Amino acid sequence: MSSNMAPNVCAVGTPGRRKVYSMCGMCAVRCPVEVTVEDGRVAWLQGNPNDKLLGASLCAKGAAGIAFENDDQRPQTPLIRSGPRGSGQWRRASWDEALDYIADKLKETIEADGPRGIALSDRGGLFADLTKTFVKALGSPNYFNHDATCAGNVHNAARSIIGFSPTGLIPDFKNTKHLVLYGRNIVESLVVKEAKAFMAAIANGMQCTYIDPRASITACKATRYWQVRPNSDYALNLALIHEILKREIYDKDFVERFVVGMDELREAVKDTTPEWQASHTGISAEQLRDFVTEIGTQAPHVIFNPGWMTARHKQSFYVSRTTLILNALMGNMEIPGGFVIAKPPEYYGRKSLKTLAARVPAVTEPRVDGAGTDRPTWDPAIGMLHQLFAAMETEQPYRVSAYIAYRHDPLTAMPDAEAMKRAMDKLKLLVSIDVRYSETGWYSDVILPESTYLERANILTQMPGSVPVFLMRDQAIAPRFDSRPAWWIFRELLHRLGIKEALDFETIEELWNYQLEGTAVTVAEMREEGIVSLAAEPKLTPRDALKFPTPSGKIEITSDLLNEAGLLSFPPYETKAAPSGDRFNLLFGRPPVLAHGQSLNNPLLNELAPEQVLWIHPERAAPLGIADGDEVEITGGGKYSGCLKAKVTQWIHRDAVFMLHGYGATVPLATRALGVGVADQRLQEGKLYDFDPAGGGCALTKTIVQIKRRVTGGSKS
């Protein structure tokens, strides 16, 4: 077995200048990129101009990919823990030794608990066929993506109402007259293509209503900003629907033909008047009515963004559901200026890539988190990661003893690191496969260094769209250290467990050829431009043929998924008490130069990272003696606390404070990020098992923190 050889693509070190098409790896968006390689080094990196909507554009994180590549502060060989978990004592290991070590522990787990005792999490997205196949090949149902703290609520809400993921709704900003955003911070939490299209539409006169307790930069580009009370958006939506139905400002023809459950909807909103919502949200009845009047003139070219990071509070699932209902009322589906429904290759008479998952038998064992069984509204394809930790801790409904975090850092991404560590302490095996030192990696038994996105090739991927495409991440340069690509790592682990068929490929080209079978696209064509469109022009499905992938074929305001789960279609709004004194709802977000916890150690992004400050309203700061620029101490009720400067501003709601996420790292070998700022997730004390029961997402913005002015000169606690 050639397990000591890095499986480079053919001719990766060729002298001279060449262009390689890849996909960025600096955040989970994975924009297509064009890499210019000169004598085996990256000379220039830009967006892949063959993706016409992206062009050469690249964000700061993407541009800093070269600095990441050249940085030595990343795992350089496999490491096996030689002291207690988290002690930072490691020994270098060969790939054979590290893989054998993991395989032995996996075998022990399978013997003691069955394959279901093994779990894996990643950040989902375009390459998840590989990780899902690995877990399925083991015979475990327990694959998780990171959506418990991201898009879980909106994903499951969309699944219950339109029958597919919200990523299948593609906004046609170019022809949109009004875009409504519920804290979707388009110009800071960047998807480059989306930000570009959004700004072009704004310049072209698109109206934008931005709803958020804090005025982000997106609020500063919007035409209307509503500073709502934290976690009150469900009340706002119930009142919007009330007013739209009352004034009959909805597309009656569309609703008649494509929506079921209108009677239940009318009943649910009969008392949720604009006046009713005002006391909950802080938005006046008059403002709400003016808005409804405005969109009445703009429908159907009005889009209500259903959200992305929606792990906010315990009714976030219903916020996304009602947002999707607002879109249905606008009748904006599958029309210019509305949502275009993403098409698979088959829609255009082409064939999808062959999945790797199809090579292994289905797993019938129930998931450990109950997704798809005890929890019918939770999509079993993504799972809910907090319930994995619950199972580790309680061994209920069954024991999980081995956990692999692939390019995922739950100790940064999930709330309450101490609670997670308690759960992980029960594991026989904790593995981190990553390109960097993550908090989770540092707590692991084994770190396997994956080659960076510039140093590796991935499986091919396809993206459904108005025109579906195949995308390629080809290998641009040889690895600088003793790292390996993920497909090879998972193949080697499976081989050691005697599971050959799932990933039985010697080279990535062989794997690509399998994926491309029957598609009439070749590896050479993929390499030519990095992106292959599967149709010449986008096509819209005519209204007569429009059908949704739900049991009724329509948009389902009432859903069997909810009925089976014993959940109401429209639970009453849960009134939120305003925190007072030194107590605030903790809100968090990210700047455009950082992708969560993974950017702060990058030499070029570290110097751009804004100083982490705490936004606080002047009327709440004054009684606490806090002035702009003062040092304040923040606690979440547990042992962890931190200090940062106050930014006293009217652009944050009185009930909330806001800080940036991705700071407060503790890994000593990542020296630039070490100790910089405060980790909001560690302030989210006791929040690991606080989640929206319907959507499954964590209730992160329910976190209450206490703030006090830091008195300097005295004794330090």
Partner 1 sequence: MSKYMLRHDEANCIGCQACEVHCKTNKNLGPGPSPCKIISTGPIDVGGQPRIRHVFMPCFHCEEAWCMKTCPTGAMQRREKDGIVFVEVSLCIGCKSCITACPWGTPQWDPATRKVVKCDYCKDRLDVGLQPACVTKCVTGCLSFGVANEVPDPRRERYARFIVAESSGSV
Site for partner 1 in 292-321 (CB under 8 A): 297
89 is a site residue for partner 1 (CB under 8 A): no
CB of 223 or CB of 273, closer to partner 1: 223
User: Cα separation of 228 and 278, whole Å?
Assistant: 10
The nearest distance, CB 301 to partner 1, in angstroms, is 12
708 is a site residue for partner 1 (CB under 8 A): no
DSSP letter at 45 equals E
> Per the omega criterion (within 30 degrees of 0), is the bond before 397 cis?
yes
Site string for partner 1, 597-616 (x = CB under 8 A): ------xxxxxx--------
Q: Which of 124, 589, 592, 696 binds partner 1 (CB under 8 A)?
A: 592
User: Cα separation of 132 and 379, whole Å?
Assistant: 14
50 is a site residue for partner 1 (CB under 8 A): no
- DSSP helix/strand/coil, 148: helix
H/E segment holding residue 91: strand 90-92
Q: Which two tokens stand for residue 488?
A: 């090879």
Q: Which of 5, 53, 67, 622 binds partner 1 (CB under 8 A)?
A: 67
Q: Which of 60, 249, 523, 546 binds partner 1 (CB under 8 A)?
A: 60
CB of 303 or CB of 357, closer to partner 1: 303
Q: Which two tokens stand for residue 182?
A: 């519920």
User: Cα separation of 25 and 313, whole Å?
Assistant: 30
The nearest distance, CB 648 to partner 1, in angstroms, is 13
Q: Find residue 634's DSSP bridge partners.
A: 642, 707
CB of 55 or CB of 88, closer to partner 1: 55
CB of 67 or CB of 358, closer to partner 1: 67
Site for partner 1 in 362-401 (CB under 8 A): none
Q: Which two tokens stand for residue 77?
A: 């060989």
74 is a site residue for partner 1 (CB under 8 A): no
Of the candidates 78, 612, 189, 682, the one whose C-alpha atom is nearest the C-alpha of residue 411 is: 682
64 is a site residue for partner 1 (CB under 8 A): yes
Site for partner 1 in 185-214 (CB under 8 A): 187-188, 190, 192, 195-196, 199-200, 203, 205
57 is a site residue for partner 1 (CB under 8 A): yes
The nearest distance, CB 594 to partner 1, in angstroms, is 11
Asked if residue 80 lies in contact with residue 445, where contact means CB atoms within 8 angstroms, the answer is yes
Q: Which amino acid is at 599?
A: S
User: Cα separation of 501 and 359, whole Å?
Assistant: 7
CB of 361 or CB of 603, closer to partner 1: 603
Which CB contacts under 8 angstroms, 24+ apart, belong to 79-84? Answer: 79/446, 79/447, 80/445, 80/446, 81/444, 81/445, 81/446
Q: Which two tokens stand for residue 500?
A: 């050959």
Asked if residue 705 lies in contact with residue 678, where contact means CB atoms within 8 angstroms, the answer is no
- Binding-residue total with partner 1 (CB under 8 A): 45
Q: In the chain, what is the greatest distance between 2 CA atoms, to the nearest angstrom? A: 74
Q: Which two tokens stand for residue 130?
A: 């590989």
Q: Using the rule CB under 8 A, give the single segment among 45-53, 326-334, 355-363, 404-412 that binds partner 1.
A: 45-53
Q: Which of 35, 59, 311, 371 binds partner 1 (CB under 8 A)?
A: 59
72 is a site residue for partner 1 (CB under 8 A): no
The count of other CB atoms within 10 Å of the CB of residue 33 is 27
The nearest distance, CB 297 to partner 1, in angstroms, is 8
Q: Which of 3, 19, 36, 46 binds partner 1 (CB under 8 A)?
A: 46
- DSSP helix/strand/coil, 633: strand
44 is a site residue for partner 1 (CB under 8 A): yes
CB of 37 or CB of 259, closer to partner 1: 37
Q: Which two tokens stand for residue 27?
A: 């955040």
DSSP letter at 468 equals -
Site for partner 1 in 627-666 (CB under 8 A): 649-651
The nearest distance, CB 218 to partner 1, in angstroms, is 8
Of the candidates 185, 207, 194, 232, the one whose C-alpha atom is nearest the C-alpha of residue 31 is: 194
Site string for partner 1, 214-253 (x = CB under 8 A): -x-x-xxxxxxx----------------------------
Q: Which residues bind partner 1 (CB under 8 A)?
A: 44-47, 56-60, 62-64, 66-67, 187-188, 190, 192, 195-196, 199-200, 203, 205, 215, 217, 219-225, 297, 592-593, 603-608, 649-651
